[in-house]
Structure 1
Amino acid sequence: MMAASIESLLEEISGVEDPIEELQCLKTALLSIPVSSLTEFISGHRFDVIFSLLNSNERDQVELCVDILERILMACSPLYVAQNYMAELQAGLTHPSSTVKILALTQVGRMMEHPDAVTQILNSQHILPSVIHCIAEENMTVAKQAIQSLSKLSHSKPGLDKLFQSDLLDVLKDVMARSDIIRYRIYELVVGISSMSPISLGYCANSGIMSQLLGELTGDDVLIRATAIEMVTSVAHSQHGRQYLAQQGIMDKISNMIKGAETDPFFSLYLPGLVKFFGNLAIMDSPQQVCETYPVFQNKVFEMALDDDPVMVGVAMDTLGLLGSTVEGKQVLQKTGDKFKSVLLSMSQLATSAATELRVRSLEAISQLLTLQPEQQTEDLLALTESWFRLLSKQPIEMIHNISTQPFPELHCGALRVFTAIATQPWGQRLMVATPGFMEFVLDRSTGQSKEAKDAKFELVRSLVTSSTAAEILGTQNYISLKAYLKEGPYYVSAVAAVGTEGAD
């Protein structure tokens, strides 16, 4: 019945001058049919009339056609779309409307992932050049969709051959030359493809685009340099990417850039990126190796932590938290002795009196530095985290507790995460139970009413309950209360509290 009405609607649409009403009816009819039933119906029909109505200046008409075609094409297999609507999609890629381009790019992306449909795309003369040209579109959604679709070519050797060993490479390079922004979009595509496998990285390197990107690191334009560093950091996310960068001497180059930053009046624009690069490298390879090979990195982080510039301080906090999240990183920081102690004191001051965003980042770094998984809790490491915690203040528990009572949800949660970090460690539990009123604070559900605050408090309770030493150190009564809290879940409201004003007993 529904199929018949769709058929008659299609006939009506091709016969009227202003088909908006009929298109609306067709859209409603298509949406009311489950996709599975739609598939059978579509395979017997052509929708050329809808595609032809895209060629209009009437915006409403174009949008309705896009909605209809989206529903229809999604109900077809990618191979069916490739066999029946290739010319229409080709036209869609050069259509003036962004929504039509996005519709066409989405379908091309689907075909790229289908083993038979992708062959049709690789054999088409026009589709891939048009997709590459879409990367240069002003509309960012179109550009992103084009990058996403093209990156799927990296999943197969024929796809890589087509993109990097045919005249498509010239198309890529022509589009790149249009502007700095577009060049960076192409870098984004190539960096994404290079991360897939050592083979895809080989193609990207041989294309010359990777070495062009690496050359931007020392270019004259500071903003371009900053963006290049971000891209190169993405390359370092894969092991084969790191090997490639090492072979190209990039680690030494970036280390030298940090050294030379002092003499550059614009260094504040790109220095954070250089430091993030090594921070990521340390976490993926080895904090000790990176800090020993490139001492300039560690020294610069300490220097930035004590800087007046909030941007520098923020990056230093994030980097120290990242380094200190691993046991090896904790040991590397500890080895620096008084240098790190002065940084910890600075962290503590930032957490209590800086601008809110820096306070949050400092608390996050402190909680990462203090966290130890149960299997990491050796005598030495427990002594290390305890000594760091005690360096924060004469009364560190009260200090963090005071931060948690301030009327900023993100500070409240940040402080709770510091408590959660020490909650699994025996010394942390002893400090908590020895601090008057602290266990009452943990069990009090009226503090922190947002979902995030309730979740953060629940994590603290869970960390205490699941620790093997908690029952003994905290005492039976506290332990029973904590277990009850855990059982009730994060959002429990007691009946007395719920009745409240009713004068409940």
Structure 2
Amino acid sequence: MAAQVPGLLREVSRLEAPLEELRALHSVLQTVPLSELREQMAEMSLGPLFSLLNQNHREQTTLCVSILERLLQAMEPVHMARNLQVDLQRGLGHPDDSVKILTLSQVRRIIENSEAVTEIVNNPELLKQIVYCIGGENLSVAKVAIRSLSRISLTQAGLEALFESNLLDDLKNVMKTNDVVRYRVYELIVGISSVSPESLNYCTTSGLVTQLLQELTGEDVLVRATCVEMVTSLAHTYHGRQYLAQEGVIDQISNIIVGADSDPFSSFYLPGFVKFFGNLAVLDSPQQICERYPVFMEKVFEMTESQDPTMIGVAVDTIGILGSSVEGKQVLQKTGTRFEHTLMKIGHQAKNASTELKIRCLDAVSSLLYLPPEQHTDDLLRMTESWFSSFSHNSLELLRGISNQPFPELRCAALKVFTAIANQPWAQKLMFHSPGFLEYIVDRSVERDKASKDAKYQLVKALANSKTIAEIFGNPNYLRLRTYLSEGPYYVKPVSTTAVEGAE
């Protein structure tokens, strides 16, 4: 079949309206392996196919895109970079988005090839076309263009091409298209900045990082909300956090949170600013961040008292992230009754809020209460026991009630909390002395869906692998747990059949 392809391509090149021939070529290509096509590529000229893309004929364009996609896959990136640059350039400027996506996907193949990428880097017109693809209406086109430029920037030559040439002016011109496109360029800049200190230096010298930070701390509340997500991405790198601290950005964000009480529009940006500090606390040191920026912790506690589910959700998520480490747990413990009151609020929401917020509350509580075996000190175990008591008047029964509800996501979230405390002796004693709890744990008929069966199995596993379980539950019950564990999460007890003499 592969032998037919060059002949069909020649047929296509002879005709002005080769629709039937394109259909035939398309059908043949679906059956030819790429390995066979590669052997035939030397005999093929793709110029006619690219030319047909310029005609205003919808079906013809669709067929050509599909055919080219298949044929270009069979072409080596280096060969493509050296011989099809003009065609690729035209493809990037094509009015049809499917042609742009096809072209960008091939450009990406070239960029990912260490030998071929220099051909793209040394072609300013092609790079310019990629930049202007960021400004199009189609988000898919823009995303592929951003990924391509991000990939180019991984090399020194790529950074120089983007930031030490007229291409920087093109980037700034594209930003003027509208707000959405401006944020796309910021996304590109933050992505490049995050790679290394050197990349960040190129981006800051360009002035675009400074522009982003000015918008972050500006007066437009909606712009703030969008920009803080990007700055949070930059803060995920050590050199990014260093830069933000040196420029006073972290202090500025803290001051904005302080002033949020008097801003009627603070609900637009506060969640993002609190998430920013939550990420900082996890990435650096919860104690240092909370001591240096006490307004962050205070605002999180305040938000749990809000009537706005969005605010409550962000606060609960942040507390869960903060309390996922021992250092973070100790920071929360130092707030004393303030945190105990917050835990009660979270427990109230876990009982009465929407399903989505209930799950977020339960996920946060499981993070707060989990302690790895090597961290089972008397102080920490007393702390988690105290927190569990503060969660609700009868936390075990509240969670057990949730785990019996007919909603798999809720059941799993409650089982996750049980699993978090399952290796702690105080929790094992609580479970053992709760009537019917052990039977619930080993009863397979309770869980009907895969997610719930898996979650129950994780609970059994955590209990069975604990060093204190045999002593607290007793050997017979310990063996029941080990049997459950060895049988796996989906075990079904076989139904025995008794043969009756004389039965057919």
- TM-score bucket (shorter structure): over 0.9
**Matched residues in 1 for 2:173 and 2:15: separation?**
44
Q: 1:7 to 1:443 in 2, by over 3 A?
A: same
The range that moved more, 80-89 or 286-295, is 80-89
**Matched residues in 2 for 1:141 and 1:247: separation?**
36
Task: Give the match for residue 353 of structure 2.
Answer: 354
1:145-294 to 2 correspondence within 5 Å?
A: 145-294=144-293
Task: Give the match for residue 345 of structure 1.
Answer: 344
**Displacement after TM superposition at 1:308 (Å):** 1.3
**Displacement after TM superposition at 1:454 (Å):** 1.7
SS at match of 1:495: coil
TM-score by length of 2: 0.96
Task: Give the match for residue 80 of structure 2.
Answer: 81
SS at match of 1:72: helix
Task: Give the match for residue 500 of structure 2.
Answer: none
**Displacement after TM superposition at 1:126 (Å):** 1.0
TM-score by length of 1: 0.95
Task: Give the match for residue 367 of structure 1.
Answer: 366
Alignment deviations for residues 73-127 of structure 1 (CA, whole Å, 9 cap, x no partner)? 1222211110121111101001011111011111111212222211111221310
Task: Give the match for residue 482 of structure 1.
Answer: 481
**Displacement after TM superposition at 1:42 (Å):** 1.3
**Matched residues in 2 for 1:190 and 1:50: separation?**
36
SS at match of 1:367: helix
1:7-86 to 2 correspondence within 5 Å?
A: 7-86=6-85
Q: 1:57 to 1:447 in 2, by over 3 A?
A: farther
Conserved? CA contact 1:424–1:464, under 8 Å: yes
Task: Give the match for residue 439 of structure 2.
Answer: 440
Task: Give the match for residue 313 of structure 2.
Answer: 314
- Aligned-pair identity in percent equals 56
**Matched residues in 2 for 1:366 and 1:153: separation?**
43
Conserved? CA contact 1:132–1:175, under 8 Å: yes
Structure 1 letter corresponding to 2:389:
R
Can you give the 5+ residue segments of structure 1 that lack an aligned partner in the other structure? Answer: 499-505
**Matched residues in 1 for 2:43 and 2:440: separation?**
68
**Matched residues in 1 for 2:465 and 2:153: separation?**
45
CA RMSD of aligned residues (A): 1.5
Q: 1:168 to 1:301 in 2, by over 3 A?
A: same
**Displacement after TM superposition at 1:379 (Å):** 1.7
**Matched residues in 1 for 2:280 and 2:459: separation?**
31
Q: 1:491 to 1:58 in 2, by over 3 A?
A: farther
Conserved? CA contact 2:412–2:455, under 8 Å: yes
Conserved? CA contact 1:420–1:459, under 8 Å: yes
Conserved? CA contact 1:95–1:101, under 8 Å: yes
Task: Give the match for residue 502 of structure 1.
Answer: none
Conserved? CA contact 2:3–2:40, under 8 Å: no
The size of the alignment, in residue pairs, is: 497
Conserved? CA contact 1:66–1:100, under 8 Å: yes
**Displacement after TM superposition at 1:6 (Å):** 1.2
Task: Give the match for residue 424 of structure 1.
Answer: 423
Structure 2 letter corresponding to 1:38:
L
Conserved? CA contact 2:6–2:40, under 8 Å: no
Task: Give the match for residue 450 of structure 1.
Answer: 449
SS at match of 2:2: helix
Task: Give the match for residue 380 of structure 1.
Answer: 379
**Matched residues in 2 for 1:367 and 1:6: separation?**
60
**Displacement after TM superposition at 1:497 (Å):** 10
Structure 1 letter corresponding to 2:311:
M
SS at match of 2:135: coil
Alignment deviations for residues 171-228 of structure 1 (CA, whole Å, 9 cap, x no partner)? 1011112211111000000000111111111111111000000000122321111101
Can you give the 5+ residue segments of structure 2 that lack an aligned partner in the other structure? Answer: 498-504
**Matched residues in 2 for 1:497 and 1:355: separation?**
44
SS at match of 1:431: helix
Structure 2 letter corresponding to 1:463:
A
**Displacement after TM superposition at 1:491 (Å):** 2.2
**Matched residues in 2 for 1:170 and 1:125: separation?**
12
Structure 2 letter corresponding to 1:384:
M
**Displacement after TM superposition at 1:407 (Å):** 2.1
Task: Give the match for residue 332 of structure 1.
Answer: 331
Structure 1 letter corresponding to 2:95:
P
Alignment deviations for residues 246-298 of structure 1 (CA, whole Å, 9 cap, x no partner)? 01101100000000111111000000011000000000000000000000000
Conserved? CA contact 1:154–1:196, under 8 Å: no
The range that moved more, 429-438 or 360-369, is 429-438
Alignment deviations for residues 327-379 of structure 1 (CA, whole Å, 9 cap, x no partner)? 00000000000100100011111111112111111111111100111222222
Conserved? CA contact 2:121–2:152, under 8 Å: no
**Matched residues in 2 for 1:209 and 1:79: separation?**
33
Conserved? CA contact 2:278–2:322, under 8 Å: yes
**Matched residues in 2 for 1:32 and 1:253: separation?**
61
SS at match of 1:446: helix
**Matched residues in 2 for 1:352 and 1:450: separation?**
23
Structure 2 letter corresponding to 1:276:
K
SS at match of 2:445: coil
The range that moved more, 35-44 or 137-146, is 35-44
Task: Give the match for residue 304 of structure 1.
Answer: 303
Structure 1 letter corresponding to 2:80:
V
Structure 1 letter corresponding to 2:111:
M
**Matched residues in 1 for 2:277 and 2:217: separation?**
17
The range that moved more, 211-220 or 330-339, is 211-220
**Matched residues in 1 for 2:337 and 2:322: separation?**
17
**Displacement after TM superposition at 1:68 (Å):** 1.4
Structure 2 letter corresponding to 1:299:
E
**Displacement after TM superposition at 1:18 (Å):** 4.1
Conserved? CA contact 1:412–1:448, under 8 Å: no
**Displacement after TM superposition at 1:17 (Å):** 4.8
Conserved? CA contact 1:109–1:150, under 8 Å: no
